């Protein structure tokens, strides 16, 4: 028995060492990718692409080695008798799952994909600035081709898109997402029509000039109050806001300034801070292991959407923060009441840009993207026809037609990063955020009173205990069930939208 225990301990130690080295390589690659989008001079694009490709390839080769396979064969039966939620058992299970998937993919393919995505990102930046899809089209075509190859490396699923989604939302399938989106589509379109029949909200006070530096300073004050730890993180600017976790002690977020929409900077900052708080709250013991990071992109998005919307667009939040914002901008807001401001930041109006859309219409933007991605992967839509398909669906869903590529097909960074299969996680995040919000309100009835006093520690502490600390220890559906008592369910989110917006619009 002692010999078996020693063998298990030795195998686990070796596996932990190898996975730690893989994590180091992946984090180094993430740091280079962050640098590309924040600090890199334009001339460094090709070199950065090569560095990223090399690091991703080395990490893949190290992780998919025969040695890791032998270690997992030794450990899997040995840890099977441990409690179901034991860290060691979960670590081995997560490692085995990732190993099995990674072994199907050649290392050269991983390097080629990294090089292509690096080049595609810079092409996308240029294309977006020029509002010219043709600049991005060749590299996006290559990315889609690579994604189809990637699907072919894996066992056949009910739908090829299942393979891509599983990388971001383990266990979720295309049929599941389509069913959720169908439920949301019917109810949200009904809500939007009801609100559209009511007098429109005046938000003209948000369409006048604001000082960017002053808004940035206010946003920094807000996220500091939320609990973002600047000793373990930083904030910068980029073309598209994002969060990058190099581990719980180095989490970086970015934001951007949108002329004519001053609070876009605030809400995008709060959104990315939601991601960052999750990463900063993961159990430090999981650092450099496959339990580090979030349970899924949907769970990750639940954190960003919770802080951005359920907190940031709530009346109790602004009961605390609005006087400070008014003091910073007396000429713009001195004559605007709290009630007017609250209605303004929750105005429902179809818009072209996803990240600037309101809560009631946001999921329609996601439906459009998911449908286009599925068509690209199936081959029923070619990349060259993507701008026209985008315009057609925008007309169908939101009654708007982009007049240029920058406000249409080029507005999101995700495809340039090769992140096909990602977009559905935003909607899943919306659903999970409402479930978590309801649960927290039940266990902590003082939720709204705390926000009125600018007290966010109770919410963050609860999220740290219920969600953050577990990292990837639990699969997403399992985690949501443990915390809320239900699997991912659209009803709480639909109820939240209906209650909030019908009251706000008198509908």
Question: Which of the residues are catalytic?
Answer: 272
* Inter-residue contact 72 to 92 (CB < 8 Å): yes
User: Would strands 243-245 and 233-237 be described as parallel, antiparallel, or unpaired?
Assistant: unpaired
Answer yes or no: are the C-beta atoms of 307 and 270 closer than 8 Å: yes
- CA dist 181 and 142 (Å) reads 29
Polymer length of the chain:
507
Q: How far is CA 200 from CA 58, 267, 338, 346, in A?
A: 56, 22, 17, 11
3-state secondary structure 174-210: HHHHHHHHHHHHHHHHHHHHHHHCCCCCCCHHHCCCC
Q: How far apart are CA 191 and CA 270, in angstroms?
A: 26
* Whether 465 contacts 277, CB under 8 Å: no
Spatial separation of the C-alpha atoms in residues 249 and 246, rounded to whole Å: 7
End-to-end CA gap in the chain = 70
Contact in structure between 57 and 114 (CB atoms under 8 Å): yes
Residues near 262 by beta carbon (within 8 Å), at least 6 away in sequence: 206, 210, 212, 215
Cβ–Cβ under 8 Å, residues 244 and 262: no
């Amino acid at each position: 028995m002692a010999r078996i225990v020693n063998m298990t301990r030795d195998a686990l130690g070796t596996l932990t060492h190898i996975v730690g080295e893989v994590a180091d390589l992946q984090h180094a690659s993430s740091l280079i990718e962050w640098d590309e989008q924040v600090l890199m001079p334009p001339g460094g694009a090709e070199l950065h692409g090569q560095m990223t490709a090399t690091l991703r390839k080395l990490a893949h080769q190290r992780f998919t080695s025969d040695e890791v396979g032998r270690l997992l064969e030794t450990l899997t039966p040995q840890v099977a008798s441990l409690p179901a939620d034991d860290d060691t058992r979960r670590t081995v299970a997560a490692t085995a799952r990732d190993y099995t998937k990674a072994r199907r993919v050649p290392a050269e393919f991983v390097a080629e994909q990294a090089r292509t995505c690096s080049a595609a990102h810079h092409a996308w930046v240029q294309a977006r600035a020029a509002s010219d899809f043709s600049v991005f089209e060749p590299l996006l075509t290559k990315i889609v081709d690579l994604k189809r190859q990637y699907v072919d490396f894996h066992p056949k699923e009910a739908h090829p898109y299942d393979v891509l989604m599983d990388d971001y939302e383990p266990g979720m399938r295309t049929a599941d997402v389509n069913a959720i989106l169908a439920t949301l589509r019917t109810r949200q379109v009904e809500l939007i029509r009801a609100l559209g029949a009511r007098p429109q909200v005046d938000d003209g006070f948000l369409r006048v000039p604001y000082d960017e530096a002053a808004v940035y300073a206010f946003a920094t004050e807000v996220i500091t109050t939320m609990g973002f730890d600047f000793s373990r993180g930083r904030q910068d600017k980029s073309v598209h806001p994002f969060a990058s976790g190099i581990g719980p002690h180095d989490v970086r977020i970015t934001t951007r300034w949108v002329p004519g929409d001053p609070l876009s900077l605030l809400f995008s900052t709060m959104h990315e801070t939601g991601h960052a708080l999750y990463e900063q709250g993961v159990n430090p013991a999981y650092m450099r292991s496959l339990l580090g990071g979030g349970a899924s992109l949907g769970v990750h998005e639940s954190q960003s959407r919770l802080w951005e919307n359920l907190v940031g667009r709530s009346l109790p939040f602004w009961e605390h923060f609005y006087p400070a914002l008014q003091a910073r901008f007396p000429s713009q807001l001195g004559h605007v009441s709290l009630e007017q401001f609250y209605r303004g930041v929750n105005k429902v109006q179809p818009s072209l840009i996803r990240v600037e859309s309101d809560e009631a219409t946001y999921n329609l933007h996601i439906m459009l993207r998911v449908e286009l991605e599925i068509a690209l992967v199936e081959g029923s839509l070619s990349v060259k026809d993507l701008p026209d398909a985008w315009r057609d669906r925008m007309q169908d869903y939101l009654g708007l037609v982009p007049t240029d590529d920058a406000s249409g097909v080029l507005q999101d960074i995700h495809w340039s990063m090769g992140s096909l299969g990602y977009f559905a996680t935003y909607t899943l995040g919306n659903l999970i955020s409402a479930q978590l919000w309801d649960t927290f309100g039940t266990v902590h009835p003082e939720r709204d009173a705390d926000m009125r006093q600018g007290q966010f520690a109770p919410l963050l502490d609860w999220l740290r205990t219920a969600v953050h600390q577990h990292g990837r220890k639990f699969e997403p559906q399992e985690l949501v069930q443990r915390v809320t008592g239900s699997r991912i369910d659209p009803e709480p989110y639909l109820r939240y939208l209906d209650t909030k917006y019908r009251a706000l619009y008198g509908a």
